[in-house]
Amino acid sequence: MGWFTVNKIDDNTYVISENGHWENTNCYLLTGKDSAVLIDSGLGVANIKEEIKKLTDMPVKVITTHAHWDHIGCHKYFNDIYIHEDDSEWIINGLPLPPQAVIKNLTPENFTGSIPPEFDIKSYRVFRSKDIKILKDGDIIDIGRKLRIIHTPGHSPGHICIFDESNGYMFTGDLIYKGTLYAFYPSTDPVKYRESVIKISNTEGIKKVFPGHYDYNQEKDIIKETENAFNEINKKNRLKQGEGIFEFENIKIQI
Ligand SMILES: [Zn+2]
Ligand SMILES: [Zn+2]
């Protein structure tokens, strides 16, 4: 069995998951009329492009939910890369993190399945490039299905969700998923995070939620649960960094 697990959501939408690492990162391939979109490219421990070639021969645009290392690992295999302006600095000049901080997430104990034979931790580099295209809130990428860019800062300054309007699919990256949500690093902003969750909650027409980590198959109730959780923390006046981990039914929030 290969490193990636591919599941078909519908005839033109696939989820490509990395279940052999504890983060269970999910990337999504959306095929359109003449081109396709890949939402995030994963950890970069195996080549996702080889998987994509099995699914489509259309040219692929890569849309980045945010510039954290675990979502841009295979960007190096593509040349048509999109990212929100407020995270672009990290792609151009690198993450504000020492390389060891990333590498420690890729040591053998982080893998829950067999490590891909081609992965060499010594040559692992976080993706950087100046050759990127900039996205703004409200932009539409039209591949024969309209993908709306929604700026949702908080987990990172330039985090975006991508709304596939015709199917009602909301791709939420690291803003909303069933697991522990992170707003405790210096570059996060818990107040903006809550506002972004409310922004998604107020978006009309969502039928399904497809997150960047863990179980990809989420009902839209997860949005309301996340909104309620942030509202509860906010009401207690504890929506500030250093307050710790808050536990709810299906999610935790670390701030
Ligand atoms: Zn992240
Ligand atoms: Zn992530």
| pLDDT tens figures, 8-62 | 999 999 999 999 999 999 999 999 999 999 999 999 999 999 999 999 999 999 9
- The ligand placed nearest to the CA atom of residue 27 is 2
Quick: pLDDT tens for 161-176.
999 999 999 999 999 9
The answer to whether position 228 is within a domain reads no
Quick: pLDDT tens for 49-106.
999 999 999 999 999 999 999 999 999 999 999 999 999 999 999 888 788 888 999 9
Domain count, the chain: 1
> What was the pLDDT predicted at 155?
97
Mean pLDDT computed over every residue of the chain: 96
Percent of the chain with pLDDT over 70: 100
Q: How far is the CA of 127 from the centre of ligand 1 (A)?
A: 15
> What was the pLDDT predicted at 99?
80
The answer to whether position 108 is within a domain reads yes
Q: How far is the CA of 212 from the centre of ligand 1 (A)?
A: 9
Residue type, 17: S
Distance between CA 68 and CA 182 in Å, rounded? 12
Distance between CA 161 and CA 177 in Å, rounded? 12
Q: Estimate to the nearest angstrom the gap between the alpha carbon of 16 and the chain centroid.
A: 12
Q: How far is the CA of 138 from the centre of ligand 2 (A)?
A: 23
Distance between CA 21 and CA 109 in Å, rounded? 9
- The ligand placed nearest to the CA atom of residue 211 is 2
Task: Assign residue 131 a region (left: φ > 0; alpha: ψ between -120 and 50; beta: otherwise).
Answer: beta
The answer to whether position 114 is within a domain reads yes
**SS3 sequence of the chain:** CCCCEEEEEECCEEEEEECCECCCEEEEEEECCCCEEEECCCCCCCCHHHHHHHHCCCCEEEECCCCCHHHCCCHHHCCCEEEEHHHHHHHHHCCCCCHHHHHCCCCHHHECCCCCCCCCHHHCCCCCCCCCEEECCCCEEECCCEEEEEECCCCCCCCEEEEECCCCEEEEECCCCCCEEECCCCCCCHHHHHHHHHHHHCCCCCCEEEECECCCCECCHHHHHHHHHHHHHHHCCCCCCCCCEEECCCCEEEC
Q: How far is the CA of 185 from the centre of ligand 1 (A)?
A: 10
The answer to whether position 243 is within a domain reads no
The answer to whether position 191 is within a domain reads no
> What was the pLDDT predicted at 97?
79
Report residue 83: phi and psi, to 5°: -155, 150
Centre a 10 Å sphere on the Cβ of residue 83 and count the other Cβ atoms it contains. 26
Indicate whether this model's pTM tops 0.75: yes
For the chain, the farthest-separated pair of C-alpha atoms sits apart, in whole angstroms, at 52
> What was the pLDDT predicted at 120?
93
Average pLDDT over residues 238-244: 95
The answer to whether position 13 is within a domain reads yes
Residue 214's CATH number: 3.60.15.10
The answer to whether position 254 is within a domain reads no
Quick: pLDDT tens for 206-226.
999 999 999 999 999 999 999
Q: How far is the CA of 159 from the centre of ligand 1 (A)?
A: 8
Average pLDDT over residues 246-253: 96
> What was the pLDDT predicted at 95?
82
Q: Is the pLDDT of residue 121 over 80?
A: yes
CB contact at 8 A, 70 and 24: no
Q: How far is the CA of 233 from the centre of ligand 2 (A)?
A: 22
Q: How far is the CA of 40 from the centre of ligand 1 (A)?
A: 11
CB contact at 8 A, 150 and 175: no
Q: Is the pLDDT of residue 116 over 90?
A: yes
Q: How far is the CA of 240 from the centre of ligand 1 (A)?
A: 18
> What was the pLDDT predicted at 101?
86
Structural domain including 135 reads 5-178+205-219
- The ligand placed nearest to the CA atom of residue 179 is 2
The answer to whether position 42 is within a domain reads yes
Q: How far is the CA of 181 from the centre of ligand 1 (A)?
A: 9
C-alpha distance from residue 7 to each of 50, 172, 173, 246 (Å): 15, 18, 17, 32
> What was the pLDDT predicted at 42?
98
Q: How far is the CA of 33 from the centre of ligand 1 (A)?
A: 30
> What was the pLDDT predicted at 96?
81
Tallying the residues shown for the chain, one arrives at: 255
